[in-house]
Amino acid sequence: MAKKDETKINHILETLRDLQYGSIVITVHDGEITQIDTTEKKRFSLQKSKAYEKK
């Protein structure tokens, strides 16, 4: 495996290890990885304020 390909694969694996919620999109042109996009989602629990509970 070429060093360039190994670098790309290692980047993808590292991103997968660090990602808790989200997605990774790998763009390929002519059989070569040309772009890696990562979208990470942060989730927060919904807490109702006391003003809304009185209604």
How far apart CA 26 and CA 53 sit, in angstroms, is 45
Q: Are 43 and 21 in contact (CB under 8 A)?
A: yes
10 domain-assigned: yes
Looking at residue 34, what is its pLDDT?
Answer: 95
Mean pLDDT score, 3-31: 94
Q: What is the mean pLDDT of the chain?
A: 88
Q: Which residues neighbour 35 within 8 Å (Cβ) at sequence distance 6 or greater?
A: 25, 26, 27
Is residue 1 over pLDDT 80? no
Q: What is the pLDDT of residue 41?
A: 92
Confidence bin at 52 (pLDDT 50/70/90): low
Q: Is residue 53 part of a domain?
A: no
Query: What is the total count of domains within the chain?
Result: 1
Give 47's pLDDT tier (boundaries 50, 70, 90). confident
Residue 49: inside a domain = no
The verdict on residue 52 lying in a domain is: no
